[in-house]
Amino acid sequence: MPTWVAACATEDIDVEDVIGFRHEDRDYAIYRTAEGDFFATDGHCTHERTLLCDGLVMGRVIECPKHNGRFDIPTGKAIRAPVLEDVQTFPTKVEDGTVFVFV
Ligand code: FES
């Protein structure tokens, strides 16, 4: 059953950066944008399952570190080849300095 899970403290993620979060054998990527918004996606690129937490955040875009495919962070939409399949996104909320992900 889906539930809110505490992923990290807001200060754990630099502005315009991403970190990895593992919960119940699944990897997630947690993002903080330049505007201070937090987002979460599946932790793996849909191309060859590279961890997106090792990628580069540019505005609201994550670039995969392996072949430079890109996703729109808020929607998970694949926006640059070789990525063709969107990455799953998850709702986030911030309470008392903690980032929660709805998994
Ligand atoms: S593994 Fe991400 S673009 Fe290839």
**Token match 């070789």: residue?**
82
What pLDDT digit, counting tens, does each position of 63-95 carry?
Answer: 999 999 999 999 999 999 999 999 999 999 999
| Rounded CA separation 32/47 (Å) | 23
Closest atom of ligand 1 to CA, residue 69: 3
| Rounded CA separation 33/15 (Å) | 6
Number of other residues whose CB lies within 10 A of the CB of residue 19: 16
Indicate the number of domains in the chain: 1
Query: Which of 48, 71, 79, 86 best tests ligand 1's pocket when mutated (most atoms within 8 Å of CB)?
Result: 48
Q: Which domain holds residue 51?
A: 4-102
What pLDDT digit, counting tens, does each position of 24-69 carry?
Answer: 999 999 999 999 999 999 999 999 999 999 999 999 999 999 999 9
CATH number at residue 97: 2.102.10.10
Provide the whole-model pTM: 0.96
